[in-house]
Amino acid sequence: MPNMGAGRQGDAQVGYYARRSAPGIAGGNGMTLEILLVLVLLAVVATLFALEWLSVDVVTLLLLVVLVISGVLTPEEAFSGFANDIIIILASVFVLSGAFVKTGVMDWLGTAINEWSGGSRAKVLLFVMTITAAVSAFMNNTTTTAIFMPAVFGLCKRSHLRASQLLIPLAFASMLGGSCTLIGTSTNVAASGFLHRSKLQPFSLFEFLPVGLTVVVAGTIYMSLLGYRLLPKMREASYTDDYQIREYLSEILIPEGSAVAGEVIEDTPLAKMDLAVLEIIRGDLRLYPEPDTPLREGDILIVEGTRDSLLRVKEVSGIEIKADVQLGDKDLITDTIKVAEAIVMPQSNLIDRTLKELSFRQRFGVSVLAIYRKGHALAAKLASLRLRVGDVLLLQGRAKQFESIAGNPDLWVLEEMVHVPFRRQKGVYAIVVLLMAVTAGGFKLLPLSIAFLLAALAAVLWKCITTEEAYGFVDWRLLILIGGMTTFGLAMEKTKAAEFVASWILHWTLPFGVYFILAGFFLMTVLLTQPMSNAAAVLVILPVALSTARQLDVNPRTFAVLVTLAASLSFITPFEPALLLVYGPGKYRFRDFVINGLPLTLIAFVIVMVIVPLWWPLR
């Protein structure tokens, strides 16, 4: 049973500590050059994460280099974070998630959501959130969100709901479910690894379950009764309107006697003017063009380009541009040519690369018509635009090309027409190995890292996923981020920067008691998750929280659990990957996340503040 007198004992201890030591706290740990350097580096890293000028993995590695060159850490210390078993656990979970995708298990679950959750809006919302939270407890929450999105789009068509009414609840549910177990989110795993580095007992697989289940139930009730009323009800619009590409579309005629008749598209003046040929109307036929498709007299081309490019067409002999043509979705879609949206995944190899560098058309066999990024539609100069996580690409191509993209870890198609066939036997193998890993790790029959590594190896050996596919599903940027920021936490402890910050926190908060200090750490963690990832934020705050607990002479695990849950339960802004993934497809605005996420974060705050000190007593 939890110690019900923990709060009173903790407050008494704080009062004693305040009377004995408060006058000397601020001056007891003076600022040194090393402490100043570490705190400045923290500010710089948080700024770079927020501005997204550089990839997070590049920023993290640069941070390690500076720490070594400055003498704060030795090379062995700098790279010790990558030797932590949390890296093995996370990589194994990514591989198992990939196995579920490639065997069609996740597609089957998505179909089940469509078939079983018919009926009222309340029933649909309840079913979607419950299933998503349950799955997310044992899979990466970002992957869970991405994989269930096509099912949600299909469900919206059947139940006459708008995607904007379900996608935020979907992402919230994946985050809530991820807080139930150690492996549900990378934040929990990262925090557990740091505890191990700090000579404390790592978190067990189900240690967060009492709080996690409570916030799942409370969050689902909130979204079903109140939250859905705050969701935007976006009107149904066409792709051409959503992505604002109508003004970039036009028709071009190849008249009789034209000099370009007989030439392949890539050799015509159109290609040199950066005009993309989207479709060829040849009599009664509507063809999807390839770069080597030859043009004929009488062909009508539907093209996309900037206003300047379209105006320059008039200067080219042998080509006639049709004036005052209003084109829409019906002009881009035929029985064989489809238009669909696809999202750039967090582990994608497409990130920070341009469409031109990727030879995107040749690689995927589809054309990019426009890109939707954080509330803005981009349709001009796409070839030189560097892709980011969560970008929604409007694609056009043959239906069979979209089928070939199914299950691709780089680019996830949001339309229901793309399915990964359910391979029953392999799918059962994938489920069995996950259950075996959870059982072995949960009952401590094997170390968690070994249990999940064995499960990942079994999935590969049983051909649930190939070795190449397994590597593709691993989010290497996240692993570098966690390994590097774990080392940064070591630097904060070694230089006594954590102790310095903790002393100042105590200096200003001691008179208010230990619960006020806990609440302050919750708020501080939530605020820090806004400019940087949740995993990075918890690794920055944890050293300070543990140092504070030691100076107060209270249970450091209470602080560690609270900070970890605060990082996992921050719903205010769409910077967490699961929220970032629904930003574009839902056509949300930034304020939609604030309006819906702030009340849910406050609910989580109350639950955490009540349960954590009871379940993990301060004394």
Confidence of residue 20 (pLDDT cuts 50, 70, 90): very low
Q: What's the rounded mean pLDDT across residues 411-420?
A: 71
* Higher-confidence position of 422 and 73: 73
pLDDT at position 258, please?
A: 87
Residue 427: exposure state from Cβ atoms within 10 A (0-12, 13-18, ≥19): buried
pLDDT at 230 > cutoff 60: yes
CATH fourth-level superfamily of 345-413: Regulator of K+ conductance, C-terminal domain (3.30.70.1450)
Question: How many degrees, rounded to 5, is the angle at CA 445 between CA 444 and CA 451?
Answer: 90
Q: Going edge to edge, which strands form the sheet with 285-287?
A: 285-287, 276-282, 300-304, 249-253, 320-321
pLDDT at 119 > cutoff 70: no
Please, are residues 496 and 587 in contact by the beta-carbon 8 Å criterion? no
- Max mean pLDDT among 235-239, 281-285, 613-617 falls in 613-617
Please, are residues 342 and 411 in contact by the beta-carbon 8 Å criterion? yes
Integer Cα distance of 603 and 222 in angstroms: 9
The per-residue pLDDT for range 26-74, each reduced to its tens digit, is 344 578 999 999 999 999 999 998 888 888 999 999 999 999 999 999 9
The per-residue pLDDT for range 315-336, each reduced to its tens digit, is 777 788 876 677 888 888 888 8
Please, are residues 514 and 617 in contact by the beta-carbon 8 Å criterion? no
pLDDT at 256 > cutoff 70: yes
Token pair 């997204």: residue: 52
- The phi and psi torsions of 280 (rounded to 5 degrees) equal -120, 125
The per-residue pLDDT for range 341-364, each reduced to its tens digit, is 999 988 889 999 999 999 998 899
Domain ranges, ordered by start, for the chain:
239-331, 345-413
- The phi and psi torsions of 117 (rounded to 5 degrees) equal -105, 25
The per-residue pLDDT for range 139-191, each reduced to its tens digit, is 888 888 987 888 788 778 777 778 888 999 999 999 999 999 999 999 999 99
CATH architecture of 239-331: 2-Layer Sandwich (3.30)
pLDDT at 544 > cutoff 90: yes
Residues whose CB is less than 8 angstroms from the CB of residue 482 and which lie 6 or more positions away in sequence, other chains included:
81, 86, 87, 90, 186, 189, 190, 193, 535, 536, 539
pTM comes to: 0.85
Please provide the DSSP assignment of 305-373 as one string: --HHHHHHHTTSTT-EEPTT----GGGT--SSEEEEEEEE-TT-TTTT-BHHHHTHHHHHSEEEEEEEE
pLDDT at 7 > cutoff 60: no
Q: Do domains 239-331 and 345-413 have the same CATH topology?
A: yes
CA dihedral (571, 575, 577, 578) in degrees, to 10, reads 30
Integer Cα distance of 25 and 544 in angstroms: 15
3-state secondary structure of 285: strand
The alpha carbon of 577 is separated from its chain's Cα centroid by a whole number of angstroms, namely 2
The per-residue pLDDT for range 273-331, each reduced to its tens digit, is 878 899 999 988 889 998 889 999 999 999 988 878 877 877 777 788 876 677 888 88
